[in-house]
Amino acid sequence: MGQAAGEDAIVRQRLKAAGIIALILAAILLARLYSLQVSQYARYQTLSLDNHIRLQALSPVRGLILDRNGVVLAQNTAVYA
């Protein structure tokens, strides 16, 4: 009986230690989330807005379509809508 009680005490100690470690890790995670979402909100909002839209002109140049004799069947035409 004495040995079982000693083992139970060791198990309880280990569970307490694991619980304390889990609470510390959760506190660190919550502190980091607060830092990112509340403290640094303005910084990340600016970065997000700068990254949200990027205008880039792309030239849709395709080649001419020729038949087997070299006659142009389709060509590029600039159209502005």
Give the chain's radius of gyration (CA, Å). Answer: 34
Q: Is residue 80 domain-resident?
A: no
Look at residue 51 and tell me if it is in a domain. Answer: yes
76 pLDDT above the threshold of 90: no
**DSSP H/E element including 5:** helix 2-34
pTM score over 0.85: no
Query: What is the number of domains present in the chain?
Result: 1
Among all chains, which residue has been given the structure tokens 């307490």? 16
Domain that holds residue 68: 2-74
Residue range 16-56, pLDDT digits in tens: 999 999 999 999 999 999 999 999 999 989 888 888 777 88
Q: Residue 2 pLDDT > 80, yes or no?
A: no
Assess if residue 79 is contained within a domain.
no
- For residues 39 and 44, give the distance between their C-alpha atoms in angstroms, rounded to a whole number: 10
Residue 81 lies in a domain: no
Q: How does DSSP assign 34-53, residue by residue? A: HIIIIITHHHHHHHHHHHH-
Distance CA 31, CA 36 (A): 9
